[in-house]
Amino acid sequence: MFLFGVKILSLTFSCFFETMKRMKRRENLKIEYISIEKLNTYGGNAKIHPAEQIEQIKQSIRDFGFNDPIAVWKDNEIIEGHGRYIACQELGMTEVPIIRLDRLSDEERRAYTLVHNKLTMNSGFDVDVLNRELEMIEGVDMTIYGISVSAEDAVRESDSDVGHICKNVYCPRCGKRVK
């Protein structure tokens, strides 16, 4: 029993140190600005970007600035940020902020691409907090972003969006609108 406990402890420390090693190698993100023409879309990007979402991203960039750099991998291949990339193209931007994630293995890159896009879809809003926050916002039309004053409406609207997602989307490979 003692040896079993030592083995578990050893594995726990091993896991802990491996996690710490990964965290250490991942903490040095630097924002760069590069020509949008140097970016390459990832052909395996499974996230769809309806035209309405691209319009919302463009409006967000106009209203608040470009605050979420596009993540790229080797050869400036986009890992996450395809929607922002399309929006920037349509806005006529020539330079975009990026972060490089070249330290990821090919498998990690593929997994992160999916994980990053899925995580924000895994939860909703706290309705009470959402309503309080919306009451404090007077100078920004939140309906442009699909957020209505009634949180129940916002939830219903997001549920009903599923039906029109495939009507007007952008190709994840070339970034062109598919009709």
CA atoms within 13 A on the CB side of 171: 9
d(CA 153, CA 145): 13
Q: Region 36-47: what's the mean pLDDT?
A: 95
pLDDT per position as a tens digit, 89-126? 999 999 999 999 999 999 999 999 999 989 978 988 88
Q: Which residues pair with 169 in a beta bridge?
A: 50, 178
- For residue 98, give every residue at least 6 positions away whose Cβ sits within 8 Å of its Cβ, in sequence order, or none: 31, 32, 33, 34, 39, 69, 70, 71, 72, 76
What domains does the chain contain, in order, with CATH numbers?
A: 31-178 (3.90.1530.10)
- pLDDT the model gives residue 36: 98
SS3 call for 50: strand
Q: Region 2-22: what's the mean pLDDT?
A: 58
pTM score, whole prediction: 0.70
Is the per-residue pLDDT at 154 higher than 50?
Answer: no
CA atoms within 13 A on the CB side of 122: 7
- pLDDT the model gives residue 28: 80
* Axis-axis angle for helices 82-91, 51-64 (nearest 10): 70
Tokens of 120: 């924000």
